[in-house]
A = this chain, B = another copy of it.
Amino acid sequence: MSKGNGETVVDVPAEKSSNPNTASTKGKGLAAGVATGAAVVGTTKVVKHLRGWKRIVCIFDFLLRLFGVAVLLTAAVTMGTSDQILPFFTHHFQFRATFQDLPALTFFVAANAIACGYLLLSLPFSLISIIRPSVVGARLLLLIADTVMLALTSTGAASAAAIVYLAHVGNRRANWIEICQQFNEFCQQTSGAVVASFAGVLIFIILVIMSALALRHH
């Protein structure tokens, strides 16, 4: 827009200028009168303000992605290292609980690891948006991928939450006993991982909304 205005003014003959003060203070391109000059300066200010605002959003986007990497890595590692062996063994086997015993928890680890890896890979694209806030492609690509990852992360977090909740309270109707009375440490660790993953879901929601806000002003 500012370029377009500049070209507009260049086409106008110089003798139309009636106020020499305007020309001297606003530069050679603003010879079309005080009103046009003020409009151009105003537009330039708005564009600069928008660019500054957009840059701040992009920087916050980058920092949020870094924070997201930490949160999702914590979730995946916490769940991945959950392993409790009870100090007694009766019948024919040892009492041991790992995340691999429950498919929902295995899916949780995979989903969080994938989302964490994606966030790491998305950092360069976020950097491009900081350096060149007017590049729409990178922002749009991030928004689409973030939306898919939001679905993946929330699916992983929710399925693990359902199983961990069941492990805590059990279900009398289905005759599923609560296993957290025995595997206390295991349940605490997996619960922590689920909470961290839901924080990751929140981060993805904020990232999508921020990308949409940044796209709006393009």
Smallest distance from the beta carbon of A133 to chain B beta carbons, Å?
14
Smallest distance from the beta carbon of A171 to chain B beta carbons, Å?
6
A53 at the interface (CB under 8 A from B): no
For residues 175 through 199 of chain A, which have their beta carbon under 8 Å from a beta carbon of chain B? 175-177, 179
A81 at the interface (CB under 8 A from B): no
Provide the residues of chain B in CB contact with A32, threshold 8 Å. 11
Per the bound structure, the CA–CA distance linking A103 and B167 in Å amounts to 13
Per the bound structure, the CA–CA distance linking A201 and B1 in Å amounts to 39
Q: What's the tally of chain A residues with a CB closer than 8 Å to chain B?
A: 52
Smallest distance from the beta carbon of A11 to chain B beta carbons, Å?
5
Provide the residues of chain B in CB contact with A162, threshold 8 Å. 104, 158-160, 162-163
A34 at the interface (CB under 8 A from B): no
A86 at the interface (CB under 8 A from B): no
For residues 75 through 109 of chain A, which have their beta carbon under 8 Å from a beta carbon of chain B? 97, 101-104
Per the bound structure, the CA–CA distance linking A97 and B174 in Å amounts to 8
Provide the residues of chain B in CB contact with A5, threshold 8 Å. 4
Smallest distance from the beta carbon of A146 to chain B beta carbons, Å?
9
With known contacts A163-B162, A216-B215, A147–B209 Cβ distance under 8 A: yes
A41 at the interface (CB under 8 A from B): no
With known contacts A101-B174, A211-B212, A212-B211, A205–B165 Cβ distance under 8 A: no
Smallest CB-CB A-B distances: 10 pairs: A159-B162, A158-B158, A101-B173, A155-B158, A162-B162, A104-B162, A158-B159, A176-B176, A154-B154, A8-B8
